[in-house]
Copies of this chain bind each other. A is one copy, B any other.
């Protein structure tokens, strides 16, 4: 731990490292929810954190679906920066980046809180038990089967949008949030979520951190939705208070 780290002189305090910027609105919202979900009466009760917000990380979906630049070097640079700042664990408020989870985890001794585990804990907190759930996410997250491979052995089954729904509703909705237009994101994202519920999903996982921002911009949906920003914030608070 360097002289310049947030933890200097206070080795008992746990500092949360947040690898963000993917997108920047989602990581700002993560910091907001981390703060609001913490039981605190004054500044000094809150969790020390360093947010490394690098929106220049190469597009994760483009890397997986096309021949886009590999994001791993930029992700590892962020992790090194968070280590230097004295972080004790890392949270990454971007689902698609978890496609590089093993590469990141093998490069650091710090625990990385896995967003799919956090989503599962959030489902259980909402009273949703293992069974069929809807899963919305980027084309990259769905192609990598990030949720299916981690959750299906635990009894969950994932219903996903059709190719047509991805192209017409989910991907454009995510893009609207990344362009700061959350109001325009609501209608397509809500339509995709409703279609999954109609197909038998008992809850819908908003498995891309842009999606909760769009869904929050309109009327609440009439079925449980799992906000992966909130889920990851709760996982980080549990880690900090353990």
On A, residues with C-beta under 8 Å from B are: 2-6, 8, 10, 13, 21-25, 27-29, 31-32, 34-36, 38, 40-57, 59, 77-78, 80-81, 83-85, 175, 178-180
A29–B36 CA distance with the chains assembled, in angstroms = 11
CB distance from A33 to the nearest CB of B (A): 8
With contact pairs A44-B56, A55-B43, A55-B45 given, residues A50 and B180 touching in the complex (Cβ less than 8 Å):
no
Contact of A31 among B31, B47, B78 (CB under 8 A): B31
CB distance from A44 to the nearest CB of B (A): 6
With contact pairs A28-B28, A48-B56, A50-B53 given, residues A42 and B6 touching in the complex (Cβ less than 8 Å):
no
**B43 engages A53 (CB within 8 Å):** no
Contact of A21 among B2, B4, B46, B83 (CB under 8 A): B46
In the assembled complex, which residues on chain B have CB atoms less than 8 Å from the CB atom of A40?
A: 178-180
A230–B77 CA distance with the chains assembled, in angstroms = 30
